[in-house]
A = this chain, B = another copy of it.
Amino acid sequence: MPALRVHNLAMSLDGYAAGPDQSVDHPLGVRGDELHECFMLTTRFGGPGASDADERFMAAGEENIGATIMGRNMFGPVRGDWGDSDWRGWWGSDPPYHHPVYVLTHHPHDPIEMEGGTTFNFVTGGIESALELACAAAGGRDVRLGGGAATIRQYVQAGLVDELHVVVVPILLNAGERLLEPIGDQVQAFDVAEVVSSPDSKVTHVQLVRR
């Protein structure tokens, strides 16, 4: 059975995975971009290079992944019925997935085939249905759960997440979208595999794995 893995999920010191007032201009909400500054330093994002830990955890998020699941809000800012929207994701014509992506939505949408091997598939059957489809498409590799926070919470609550890598960014946002609340009886479902902070970026990587 493939593992369902969350990687590089940034959270502020006060627990927010996104700032308030998410919009097309601010996909991560106001000041939400500060959560991802550490990622932009990595070679993966064309940066000058980050600490060993930052680079290692960034790279780990792409190792042995055959499919990705994401919530609709991570795919784009369109809400409700798709109408005649021609939105094709935030990532340009050649998204960095290069494998099948499953987007959770209540509104049916035809698959969108992009360059470079990425196909966006739209799943209306719920999180377990999306996981089943993603596992089947992953060809024996693992499935990455991209986000956002609400989607990750749903999978955690359902006991379906095997690995959860949280990046604690030492900023305070004071408002926005909380990552880890509520997760109900899954609160003791994880062991702490590793905790390592990066002197340069000042973030802390916390790797949780299912017991």
Q: Which residues of A contact B (CB under 8 A)?
A: 13-15, 166, 168, 170-174, 179-184, 187-188, 190, 192, 195-199, 202-204, 206, 208
Per a CB cutoff under 8 Å, which of B172, B179, B184 touches A180?
B172
Contact A192:B168 (CB < 8 A) given known A13-B206, A14-B181, A180-B14 = no
30 A/B residue pairs, CB under 8 Å, sorted by A = A13-B166, A13-B168, A14-B179, A14-B180, A15-B15, A15-B180, A15-B181, A168-B204, A170-B192, A170-B195, A170-B208, A171-B192, A172-B180, A172-B183, A172-B188, A172-B190, A173-B187, A174-B181, A174-B182, A174-B184, A192-B202, A195-B197, A195-B199, A195-B202, A195-B203, A195-B204, A196-B197, A196-B199, A197-B197, A204-B206
Bound: A184/B173 CA distance, A: 10
Interface of A is mostly: loop
For residue A113, give the distance in angstroms from its CB to the closest CB of chain B.
Answer: 39
For residue A210, give the distance in angstroms from its CB to the closest CB of chain B.
Answer: 13
Per a CB cutoff under 8 Å, which of B168, B171, B183, B199 touches A174?
B183
For residue A211, give the distance in angstroms from its CB to the closest CB of chain B.
Answer: 12
Most chain B CB atoms below 10 A, which of A166, A179, A181, A182: A181
Bound: A188/B170 CA distance, A: 11
Across the interface, which residues of B come within 8 angstroms of A187, CB to CB? 172-174
Closest to A208 in B: B170
Contact A204:B197 (CB < 8 A) given known A14-B180, A174-B181, A180-B172 = yes
Across the interface, which residues of B come within 8 angstroms of A15, CB to CB? 14-15, 180-181
Across the interface, which residues of B come within 8 angstroms of A14, CB to CB? 15, 179-181
Bound: A202/B190 CA distance, A: 14
Closest to A204 in B: B204
For residue A51, give the distance in angstroms from its CB to the closest CB of chain B.
Answer: 11
Bound: A14/B190 CA distance, A: 13
For residue A188, give the distance in angstroms from its CB to the closest CB of chain B.
Answer: 7
